[in-house]
Amino acid sequence: MKQQTKISEAVVRRLPLYLQALNELSRGEVQTVSSQALGRKLDLNPAQIRKDLAYFGEFGRKGIGYDVSYLISKIRHILKLDRGINVALVGAGNLGQALCNYNRYSRDNMKIVAVFDDHPDKIGMHINTMRVQPMEELKATVEALQIRIGIITVPAAAAQKVADQLADAGIEGILNFAPAILKVPPSVRVHHADFTTELLSLAYYLEKDADHDDDKVVD
Amino acid sequence: MKQQTKISEAVVRRLPLYLQALNELSRGEVQTVSSQALGRKLDLNPAQIRKDLAYFGEFGRKGIGYDVSYLISKIRHILKLDRGINVALVGAGNLGQALCNYNRYSRDNMKIVAVFDDHPDKIGMHINTMRVQPMEELKATVEALQIRIGIITVPAAAAQKVADQLADAGIEGILNFAPAILKVPPSVRVHHADFTTELLSLAYYLEKDADHDDDKVVD
């Protein structure tokens, strides 16, 4: 029986937050941290944190807490970030360029190593050290660089076609920034980073003008 | 009894997707659409779509479907996008600049109208027609331009301070791009657009190497 099959999505989604908090502590040269201190940092119940981390074995020591470096390496291992994961980005517009420049996740061993676009104006352009490649080169590049994750930053209308191409090239995970629901084969996992939806749905909760008391109540 | 208090978060989050699909149809000069056709476009059950839209009254006609323009205006009204909502962005780095240039949501009446940063190198810089302003000007600008939503694109370590400043300035909604959990007063609603978390947690689901069959099973 594999251990990882028992971990819920909610826990998996909290792990990057733990990693982020621990990286910060590590940069501040903090060596051990209690679940209470982590809880305050992340606004999470310490018992929740202990429970989450217990999924992966016992790392904390009573009265001392967690060893920060050890916990970082353990979470990176669990998230499979200890081996380095190559990422391709499709859509070299403003957002795509920003993500390439941003590349903060690279310190977590995940790195955008190739950029694609199908527009003649974009192809050949340089972003950092990467040359924007035509979509025709996608499959060969994914294979050559062992790229496993694709980021989609094309307009919504083009997103499905790109998802098909990524799936066809053997990509296993997609981070989709387009406000579109993608159909992919079961071998591909899609996460959404659709901030347009997040932004527009925020508006619904505004308007405190009329009924201050209940305008935020939802089912 | 207010009607909106009965709408679940899940429905509210689907409305921008409907809006996006309908905008596309409208640009293609499609005048009516059935719940079946919308369902195929969004990979949603037509019955689900009819149920969602029924929350807001009966807009569809049997055998004809929904009037695209009417439905667009109705959803915009429900999301309170018919009046125009001003947005401030804090953090004029790569990501912040991309979001300002992107501004796709502006066709949905939501627009970034002011940009702030606290770094001397950034202050005074121009992004589109906006001058990057120092944080000291936040409160007065939020008031003058009736800004209601704030976007946070600063590093995680600075996010809480910025959230405090936005709340203090009277902002009602925050879209947070920083991988940090924010504490805000109950009058402020926070949505997360934390793609780093989405990206890093994708990695967990990779690795099909060993056990092809069950490595994606979650609780």
Question: For residue A155, is it within any domain?
Answer: yes
Task: Report the residue from A19, A94, A198 with minimal CB separation from B193.
Answer: A198
> How far lies B11's CA from each of A24, B49, B78, in Å?
36, 10, 11
pLDDT of residue B56: 73
* Statement to judge: residues B97 and B140 lie in one domain: yes
* A71 and A104 together in one domain: no
Same domain flag for B121 and B46: no
Identify whether residues A52 and A15 lie together within a single domain: yes
Q: What is the CATH number of the domain that holds A37?
A: 1.10.10.10
- C-alpha A70/C-alpha B131 separation (Å) is 45
Residue B94 lies in a domain: yes
Please identify, among B44, B78, B112, the residue that sits at the C-terminal boundary of a domain.
B78
Q: Is residue B208 part of a domain?
A: no
**What is the domain extent for residue A135?**
85-201
Which of residues B60, B78, B96 is at a domain's end?
B78
Q: With bands split at pLDDT 50, 70 and 90, how would you rate the model's confidence at A3?
A: very low
- Whether residues B195 and B136 share a domain: the answer is yes
A13-27, A164-178, B65-79, B177-191: range with highest mean pLDDT: A164-178
CATH code at position A182: 3.40.50.720
Distance CA B56, CA B4 (A): 9
A216 pLDDT exceeds 60? Answer: no
User: Which pLDDT belongs to residue A167?
Assistant: 97
Q: Note whether B37 and B91 are same-domain residues.
A: no
Q: What number is the average pLDDT over the span B81-99?
A: 89
User: Which of A196, A212, A215 is best to mutate for the B interface (most B CBs within 10 A)?
Assistant: A196
Q: Which residue has the higher pLDDT, A214 or B131?
A: B131
Q: Could B202 and A180 be called an inter-chain contact, meaning their C-beta atoms sit closer than 8 Å?
A: no
Q: By the 8 A CB rule, do A42 and A17 touch?
A: yes
Give how many domains chain B has, as a whole number. Answer: 2
B26 & B121 share domain: no
The H-or-E segment that residue A95 falls in is helix A94-102
The predicted model gives A152-181 an average pLDDT of 92
Q: Which residue in the set A7, A172, A195 is minimally distant from B193, CB to CB? A: A195
**A116, A142: one domain:** yes
Residues of B within 8 A of A204 (CB-CB) are 4, 7, 12, 15, 78-80
Q: How far is the alpha carbon of A35 from chain B, nearest alpha carbon, in Å?
A: 16
Check whether residue A90 and residue A114 sit in a common domain.
Answer: yes
What is residue B215's predicted lDDT score, i.e. its pLDDT?
A: 39
pLDDT: is A168 or B213 the higher one? Answer: A168
Nearest chain A residue to B217 by CA distance is A5
| Whether residue A100 is found in the same domain as residue A64 | no
Residue B219 belongs to a domain:
no
Q: pLDDT confidence of B128, banded at 50, 70, 90?
A: confident
Shared domain for A62 and A105, answered yes or no, is no
The CA distances from residue B158 to B61, B95, B117, B166, in Å, are 51, 15, 11, 13
For residue A148, give the H/E element and its range: strand A147-152
Same domain, B89 and B187: yes
Question: Is there a domain that residue A185 lies in?
Answer: yes
pTM above 0.95, yes or no: no
For position A208, what pLDDT does the model report? Answer: 56
**Does pLDDT of A5 surpass 80?**
no
Q: What is the mean pLDDT of chain A?
A: 84
